[in-house]
């Protein structure tokens, strides 16, 4: 018996993995832009810093967040919403960089969603132990539009659930350069991220960064 050393395909190889109706993982889709994306995120965070938002229930999130684009996702004791103003700076969020727009539109098109024009990009930063409990993304006005997410840095285990809370989630490892497009019937599925395992990536150190592009308004 010979061990199959190549049972897992290399994480530098582009390929499309369907996850469910309307949902597809585009492996290595953002690999070439990875370093530029990380640099841009750093620049954005000097304008609108990463911060730990508080949920309406009073819990401080372990994931740090910032935004760019016309509107940004925010949470506080009053609820979740999209706002044109960064509550931390009192200024508009930094505009969506052209590279972000272009990459999101190309990924959406690859998944069959033409003319995706996001108005919001949420930037999530995970450190060791940071997690996102199972939830639905339901603060966007049009659920006919997909969500595009880009994973950078340290790998994470993503949990893809079903339409209801009960369904046992599918565990999907997401690594640097992976892009996922969530549209159609998968758009409202429950999902989460398991606590980040300690690991290092040359471009981000111990961090995982995730971009989620949305049409919020
Ligand atoms: C599946 N972020 O910010 S992105 C979030 O990796 C969020 O930071 C995760 O969930 C992260 O809300 C996952 C992938 C994602 C985004 C929206 C979805 C997956 C989704 C909507 C429906 C189904
Ligand atoms: Fe989400």
pLDDT per residue as tens digits for the range 69-102? 999 999 999 999 999 999 999 999 999 999 999 9
Give 108's pLDDT tier (boundaries 50, 70, 90): very high
189 ligand 1 Cβ < 6 A: yes
pLDDT tens, position by position, 137-158:
999 988 889 999 999 999 999 9
Share of the chain above pLDDT 70, in %: 99
Mean pLDDT throughout 192-197? Answer: 98
Mean pLDDT throughout 16-35? Answer: 97
Give 177's pLDDT tier (boundaries 50, 70, 90): very high
Mean pLDDT throughout 113-120? Answer: 97
pLDDT at res. 77: 97
Mean pLDDT throughout 18-27? Answer: 95
Mean pLDDT throughout 55-76? Answer: 98
Complete domains list, the chain, with CATH: 15-214 (2.60.120.590)
For a ligand 1 pocket test, name from 67, 124, 143 the mutation site with the most ligand atoms within 8 angstroms of its C-beta.
Answer: 124
Give 63's pLDDT tier (boundaries 50, 70, 90): very high
Tokens standing for 137?
A: 């993304």
212 ligand 1 Cβ < 6 A: yes
67 ligand 1 Cβ < 6 A: no
pLDDT at res. 97: 98
- Which amino acid residue places its CA nearest to atom 8 of ligand 1? 210
pLDDT at res. 2: 62
Give 104's pLDDT tier (boundaries 50, 70, 90): very high
Of the listed ligands, the closest to the CA of 61 is 1
pLDDT at res. 5: 72
For a ligand 1 pocket test, name from 26, 147, 151 the mutation site with the most ligand atoms within 8 angstroms of its C-beta.
Answer: 147
CA 18/CA 185 separation, integer angstroms = 13
DSSP letter string over the chain? ----TTSSPPTTS-EEEEEETTEEEEETTTTTTHHHHHHHHHHHHHHS--B-PBPTTSPBPSSEEEEEES-EEEEETTEEEEESB-TTTSSBPPPPPHHHHHHHHHHHHHTT--S---SEEEEEEE-TT--EEEE-----S-TTS-EEEEEEES-EEEEE--SSSSSPPEEEEE-TT-EEEE-GGGTT--EEEPPPPP--BTTTBT-EEEEEEE---
Distance 146 CA to ligand 2 centre (A): 12
Tokens standing for 7?
A: 């049972």
Distance 190 CA to ligand 2 centre (A): 8
Mean pLDDT throughout 19-36? Answer: 97
Distance 13 CA to ligand 2 centre (A): 26
pLDDT at res. 1: 56
Q: Which atom belonging to ligand 1 lies closest to the Cα atom of 210?
A: 8
């Amino acid at each position: 018996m010979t061990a199959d050393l190549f049972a897992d395909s290399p994480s530098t190889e582009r390929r499309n993995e369907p996850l469910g109706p309307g949902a597809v993982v585009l492996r290595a889709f953002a690999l070439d832009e990875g370093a530029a994306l990380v640099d841009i995120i750093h620049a954005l965070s000097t304008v609108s810093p990463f911060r730990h938002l508080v949920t309406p229930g009073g819990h401080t999130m372990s994931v740090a967040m910032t935004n760019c684009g016309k509107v940004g996702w925010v949470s506080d004791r009053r609820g979740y919403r999209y706002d044109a103003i960064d509550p931390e700076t009192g200024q508009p969020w930094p505009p969506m960089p052209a590279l972000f727009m272009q990459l999101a539109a190309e990924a959406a098109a690859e998944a069959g969603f033409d003319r995706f024009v996001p108005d919001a990009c949420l930037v999530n930063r995970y450190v060791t132990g940071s997690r996102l409990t199972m939830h639905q993304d339901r603060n966007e006005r049009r659920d006919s539009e997909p969500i595009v997410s880009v994973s950078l840095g340290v790998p994470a285990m993503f949990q893809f659930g079903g339409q209801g809370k009960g369904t046992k989630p599918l565990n999907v490892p997401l690594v640097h350069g992976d892009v996922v497009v969530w549209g159609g019937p998968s758009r409202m599925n429950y999902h989460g991220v398991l606590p980040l395992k300690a690991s290092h990536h040359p471009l981000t150190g111990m961090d995982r960064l995730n971009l989620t592009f949305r049409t919020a308004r």
